[in-house]
Structure 1
Amino acid sequence: MAGAPEEICGILEGGREGDTAQVQAAHPVENVAEQPRTRYTLDPEAQLDVMEEIEERGASVVGFYHSHPDGPTGPSATDEAQATWPGYSYVIVALAGRPFVGSWKWTGDRFEQEVVSVGGD
C-alpha cells in the first residue's frame, strides 16, 4: 500500500442508504501526525479543502479512512480517544499479517462495526 510503513489517511465521499454508508470516492489527505508510523492526523487545511470540494459538488462526506500498518484490524484505543465525528464511518485497512478492511461508525461514545458499500450508484 502506498505510504506504508506510515499510516495513510483520507476522506470518504458518498451517501447513506439506511444504515449503510455508500462510498463513491476516497480522497487521500496527508498524515501530519508527529508519529505517523503509529498515529494519523489529517492535515487540517487539506481536510477542510477536500470537505468543501465534496460539498460544493452536492455530495456528502460519509467518513474517513486510515491504515494500521502494524496495528489491530479494528479501531485502536487511540482511534477511539480521538474520534470526533459522530455518525460518520471510519474505515481501517490493517496490513499486519493477513490484510483486512473493516468499517465502524462512531456513535459519539463508541465504535459500532458496520457494512459499507463501495462504488456504484
Structure 2
Amino acid sequence: MIQLSQEHLQTICTHAESTYPEECCGIILGYLASESKIVVEVMPTENVWHTEAAAEFPGDRTTESKRRQYAIAPEIMLKTQREARNRSLNIIGIFHSHPDHPAIPSECDRLYAWQGYSYIIVSVQNGKAGELQSWSLDDHHQFQAEAIENII
C-alpha cells in the first residue's frame, strides 16, 4: 500500500494535465512503514525522453516520442537521492501519465521498473486527468496493483 495526501494527488494530476499530450513524470519521496510506503513529497520533473535516450534502450524505440515514453534525467535522480538522504527520506517511487491510455503499465514500464518502487500512473483523457493507479513489481518482475490510501 502507498499512502499519500489529496495535495500529492492534485500535484500529480496537475502536472499530467500541464504536459498533455506528452507523458509527464516525477519522483515520489517518502519512507517505508511496516505495511506501507508513506509519501512525504511528490516532485514533478521534466520528461527528457528524446531520440538519443531511445538509442540507449534495446529494440527500435527511436521512433517513440514523449507521447508514449518518459525519462527522468539521471542527474536529477542523483541530486534528488542526495537531497532525500539529507532529509532522512528515500525515493520510494515514480509517477507518470498515460495520455489517452489507461493507467495500466506498458511493457516498457515493466522492463525498466525497479523492484521496491511504487509506480503511480495517471490516465489523461483529452487533457483531463482521470483514473490513477499504483503498481509495484512482484518477485517475478510482474506489476501488481498496489492499494492507494488517501491520508490527510
TM-score range, shorter chain: 0.7 to 0.9
2:130 is equivalent to residue 99 of structure 1: yes
Q: What does the per-residue CA deviation read over 1:79-102, in whole Å, with 9 as the maximum and x for residues that have no partner?
A: 11221x101100001112771111
Residue in structure 2 matching 1:33, options 46, 49, 54: 49
Structure 2 CA distance for aligned equivalents of residues 64 and 49 of structure 1: 15
Tell me how many residue pairs correspond in the alignment: 119
Structure 2 CA distance for aligned equivalents of residues 117 and 16 of structure 1: 14
Question: How far apart are residue 119 of structure 1 and its match?
Answer: 5.2
Give the % identical residues.
34
Question: How far apart are residue 60 of structure 1 and its match?
Answer: 1.5
Say which is worse superposed, 110-119 or 48-57, in terms of deviation.
Answer: 110-119
Alignment match, 1:23: 39
User: Contact (CA 8 Å) 1:23, 1:118: kept in 2 or not?
Assistant: no
RMSD: 1.8
Alignment match, 2:4: none
Alignment match, 1:13: 29
| Structure 2: runs of 5 or more not aligned | 1-16, 51-64
Q: What does the per-residue CA deviation read over 1:2-55, in whole Å, with 9 as the maximum and x for residues that have no partner?
A: 111111111101122233222121011211112111100111111211121111
Moved over 3 A (4+): 116-120
Alignment match, 2:7: none
Structure-1-length-normalised TM-score: 0.87
Structure 1 CA distance for aligned equivalents of residues 148 and 90 of structure 2: 15
Say which is worse superposed, 48-57 or 106-115, in terms of deviation.
Answer: 106-115
From the CA coordinates, give the structure whose radius of gyration is larger: 2
| Structure 1: runs of 5 or more not aligned | none
Give secondary structure in 1 for the equivalent of 2:76. Answer: helix
Structure-2-length-normalised TM-score: 0.71
Structure 2 CA distance for aligned equivalents of residues 118 and 14 of structure 1: 15
Structure 2 CA distance for aligned equivalents of residues 19 and 101 of structure 1: 21
Structure 1 letter corresponding to 2:100: D
Question: How far apart are residue 65 of structure 1 and its match?
Answer: 0.4
2:77 is equivalent to residue 61 of structure 1: no
